[in-house]
Structure 1
Amino acid sequence: MQAFKIIILLSSVFVFGSSQVYAAVAESDIQRLGNDLTPVGAEKLGNGEDIPAWRGGLKPDPLLQPGAFHPDPFKDDQPRFRITASNIDQHEKRLSEGQKQLLKTFPDLFFDVYPSRRSASYPDYVYDAVKANAASAELLKYGSGVTGATMSSPFPIPKNGLEVLWNHTLRFRGHSFSFVDYTTSVIKNGSRSDQLRDHQYFFAYSSPGISPETLDNKIFFLKRKTLAPANLSGRITLVHETLDQVRSPRKSWLYQPGERRLRRAPDLAYDSPDESTNSVRTIDQVDMFNGAPDFYNWQLIGKQELYIPYNAYKLHQGELTNDDILLEKHINSSLLRYEPHRVWVIEATLRLGFEHKYAKRRYYIDEDSWSIVLAEEYGENGELLQFTEAHTINFYDIQLVYPTLEVTYDLEDGGYFAEGLDNERGSTLNFSESYTKRDFSTSAVRREARR
């Protein structure tokens, strides 16, 4: 078994000082999609040992109601083995540096490794869009955005680290959805700070009938309202997420009930502290990474076989409480599921003359979904400061892969932040919403705030 495969490409290191724009993929490579490659560009075959071939992933369940928690399709699986601090050496080739550090930091933490289930699947029209993207998508100058693509990941056969990153940023996440969840900051002594928030998303980039010409440089629109605690209740954040954030930075507004005004929030980018996380995370750590990539040089390291969080249906159940999931120092290991999968590995190093809290960042991207599943953030002296895991599932009511829980561990100061705790709410992400751009205008938010 080849545990780590280095992909050697002339373009594997992309430096923003270059103005090169990469051409579309050759027709012969595009024809590989759906043949030896899956429709999104993953290797269809397994590794001959513990990673199986992809056979289409999970099929949709027409009986599942919108917003209902998804029954675990793999509930009868049993762990193959358990990784702990005491046996890291036996498994280190399939663990990231962040995973190793996490196990060493918390000796009571463990990873139960289950059979690999390549459950990722998407609707056929998404596969069609990915194939069309492969023929026309190009990075904009300096890699600041993408042109010639809609609906889903633009580069199913990537040639450099930036193309892999944009595959995550633009991956298919449905058309509209809403959900209410708790976010929790757990500080070193185990005390918690909770917020309850209502989210509404409209993905302009994946709207049916959208074309690259009519996209208007928008990825999505977000409205987020804080419901609790009482001192923050009524606070509304509005975001218009742009595709090329160097040329046209994201637009964001904040409504504070005490001020009764909707104000522009100009610093909602890069390493500005994310106040909703008790400043554990920076703004560009939301969704593992978001926003403009121009502060960093991006390198494609290659592909690696890792044990990653996957098919996290045990975490995704309505009978669980926050107390079941959140322990004093980390989330509950007994609710976690890890599987062997292939991931793309990319690394970002801070460009000369730019300042950011993190000097180096490494991301591990699931080949079957283009979702970042592990993220490592390093300081200027090479020390690992933070480690984030995205515990994903296939929301197979409509077929897409998305985290049911994200957890960021602060390895420097202790404590952690968890996002996506909807278990106590009685419902999860509801993809049956039919929002439009008008629902995310400043006037719409002002009207809602007055009610």
Structure 2
Amino acid sequence: MKQRIAVAFGAFCIAYAGLAAAKVGADEAAKLGKDLTPIGAEKAGNKDGTIPEWTPAAKRGQLKGEYPNEPKIDGEKPKFTITKANMAQYESMLSEGHKYLLKTFDTYKMNVYPTHRFVNFPDEIKAATGKNATTCEMIGTDILDNCKLGFPFPIPKTGAEPVWNHKLKFRGDYAKRYNNQMIVQRNGDFQLTKIIEDAAFYYGSITKAVPLTKDSGEFLRYLSRTVAPPRLAGTFILVHEKAGTGEAGRAAWLYTPALKRIRRAPTVCCDNPYEGTDGHQFYDQVDMFNGSLERFNWKLVGKKELYIPYDSNKIAGNTVKYKDLIRPNHLNQDLPRYELHRVWVVEANIKAGTSHTFKKRVMYIDEDSWNIVLEDNYDNRDQLMQLHEGHLVIGYNILAAGTVPEVIYHFNSGRYFITAAFNEDQPYDLSVKYNDDYFNASSVQKMTTK
């Protein structure tokens, strides 16, 4: 019987403990800020002009109360629409999951808009990324050394490196997120779960960055509290996210009202279902992907041009209600926005002797933000099982980017799952501050009695 490795949604294990890889030479790093953007994307557009040159946005807006918006583009009309009838024309620029949806549902379509490349990051992040290019190393797939503040691998050489760029992307110092989740049945009926999440980002903190070394690896702390429905209300999940293996890796705790105490939870990991999702989201699917890489072999396939969800301000904002967003079988495809962008393609294949529900994962990672925006997931029969779709928005108020909402299409059941939505709640609050003690198990236990 294959042994399931209880490493939590940010814990890490090494494939080959003695091997270090990934820093590049000074000549190659010198391309950053010249031919490449400061974080490693191609600065120029493509040959036919369908992908423009990088034009970074300026910082604007408040840290609290800002729904995603960009007046320059939010009123644009689609250039064209991809449907089942014409999808062959665009097949080379579509993920397998999008092809499946187009072939399966006559009602599914993809409205394609002009491409914009506004993603930008603070100067401190860009400068630190340049330094990381020649100093940051990866040991195995799950321990980093000599990395500080910026993206660790702006010029990736292995499949695990773009994934670490995603995991360590800049998100400010602290955040409070109102995470609304929906399990959507084939007929469009849905069940709503409301979660409030708090996070402290140590590695990506401009004011007090915590470096990652082979001996020290905590890079964020996370606390979630379920507030609805009543049967799930009062559930807490606490995570100390670390780069490491075994007991040196992720530490996690779970509090449920039935037990009335907080306890260590090694199952907050990998392909174990996230509490309250009825199996529709695994722990390692939060934020598209997080946690240990050690169950898979990671291959850097290369770059390609792909239609991906981008500048998704409309479906992330407060003008769209959930009843408008949800339709049977898939989202209301009048609302999402797709653009043509260059993405890194990373393929993860399950290692012999380990186990996971997914035998293969193919990730598509936006070159300008290092966000995973799409993932095709395959089962142990090599059948396409899921499309995981993250709708990218830009946080102009801190100069960052993330995916809101995220959707997991389950092709075996016909249901889909929406997470990270806040349309009918509040947007991210990036003005909050937390003491480290706030994220301790004893503090959480006290919260449960209030």
The TM-score normalised by the length of structure 2 is 0.92
- Partner amino acid for 1:164? P
Pair 329,209 (structure 1): closer, same or farther in 2 beyond 3 Å: same
Q: Secondary structure of the equivalent of 1:450?
A: coil
CA distance in 2 between counterparts of 1:148 and 1:72 reads 37
- Partner amino acid for 1:220? L
Q: Which position in structure 1 is the counterpart of 2:83?
A: 84
Q: Determine whether 1:113 maps to 2:119.
A: no
Q: Which position in structure 1 is the counterpart of 2:190?
A: 192
Q: Which position in structure 2 is the counterpart of 1:67?
A: 65
- Partner amino acid for 1:217? G
- Partner amino acid for 1:288? M
CA distance in 2 between counterparts of 1:449 and 1:152 reads 36
Once the two structures are TM-superposed, the CA of residue 23 in structure 1 deviates from its matched residue by: 5.2
Structure 2 contact 314–320 (Cα < 8 Å) conserved:
no
Q: Which position in structure 2 is the counterpart of 1:433?
A: 432
Q: Secondary structure of the equivalent of 1:334?
A: coil
Q: Which position in structure 2 is the counterpart of 1:153?
A: 151
CA distance in 2 between counterparts of 1:88 and 1:361 reads 23
Once the two structures are TM-superposed, the CA of residue 319 in structure 1 deviates from its matched residue by: 2.6
CA distance in 2 between counterparts of 1:213 and 1:316 reads 33
Structure 2 contact 212–219 (Cα < 8 Å) conserved:
no
Q: Which position in structure 2 is the counterpart of 1:268?
A: 268
Of the candidates 149, 163, 166, which is equivalent to residue 164 of structure 2? 166
Q: Which position in structure 1 is the counterpart of 2:290?
A: 290
- Partner amino acid for 1:372? I
Once the two structures are TM-superposed, the CA of residue 300 in structure 1 deviates from its matched residue by: 0.7
Once the two structures are TM-superposed, the CA of residue 304 in structure 1 deviates from its matched residue by: 0.3
Query: Structure 1, residues 74-133: CA drift from partner, whole Å, max 9, x if none?
Result: 123221100011111010011111110121122201111011000211111111111121
Once the two structures are TM-superposed, the CA of residue 236 in structure 1 deviates from its matched residue by: 1.1
Q: Which position in structure 1 is the counterpart of 2:366?
A: 366
CA distance in 2 between counterparts of 1:335 and 1:393 reads 14
Q: Which position in structure 1 is the counterpart of 2:7?
A: none
Structure 2 contact 115–339 (Cα < 8 Å) conserved:
yes
CA distance in 1 between counterparts of 2:240 and 2:94 reads 37
CA distance in 1 between counterparts of 2:381 and 2:200 reads 40
CA distance in 2 between counterparts of 1:210 and 1:135 reads 19
Pair 330,217 (structure 1): closer, same or farther in 2 beyond 3 Å: same
Pair 399,213 (structure 1): closer, same or farther in 2 beyond 3 Å: closer
Pair 234,211 (structure 1): closer, same or farther in 2 beyond 3 Å: closer
CA distance in 1 between counterparts of 2:372 and 2:352 reads 26
Once superposed, which parts of structure 1, at least 4 consecutive aligned residues long, lie more than 3 Å away? 15-19, 213-216
Q: Secondary structure of the equivalent of 2:89?
A: helix
Once the two structures are TM-superposed, the CA of residue 59 in structure 1 deviates from its matched residue by: 1.4
Query: Structure 1, residues 342-393: CA drift from partner, whole Å, max 9, x if none?
Result: 0000101111111111111100000000000000110122100011110011
Structure 2 contact 63–398 (Cα < 8 Å) conserved:
no
Once the two structures are TM-superposed, the CA of residue 282 in structure 1 deviates from its matched residue by: 1.8
Q: Which position in structure 1 is the counterpart of 2:308?
A: 308
Q: Which position in structure 1 is the counterpart of 2:4?
A: none
Structure 1 contact 363–376 (Cα < 8 Å) conserved:
yes
Q: Which position in structure 2 is the counterpart of 1:97?
A: 96
Q: Secondary structure of the equivalent of 2:248?
A: coil
CA distance in 1 between counterparts of 2:76 and 2:125 reads 30
Farther off after superposition, 385-394 or 242-251:
242-251
CA distance in 2 between counterparts of 1:69 and 1:191 reads 26
Structure 1 contact 114–337 (Cα < 8 Å) conserved:
yes
- Partner amino acid for 2:221? F
Give aligned-pair identity as a percent: 37
Structure 1 contact 314–335 (Cα < 8 Å) conserved:
yes
Of the candidates 178, 181, 184, which is equivalent to residue 183 of structure 1? 181
Query: Structure 1, residues 20-39: CA drift from partner, whole Å, max 9, x if none?
Result: 21152111111111111001
Q: Which position in structure 2 is the counterpart of 1:11?
A: none
Structure 1 contact 83–113 (Cα < 8 Å) conserved:
yes
Structure 2 contact 188–326 (Cα < 8 Å) conserved:
no
The TM-score normalised by the length of structure 1 is 0.92
Structure 1 contact 245–291 (Cα < 8 Å) conserved:
no
Once the two structures are TM-superposed, the CA of residue 321 in structure 1 deviates from its matched residue by: 1.3
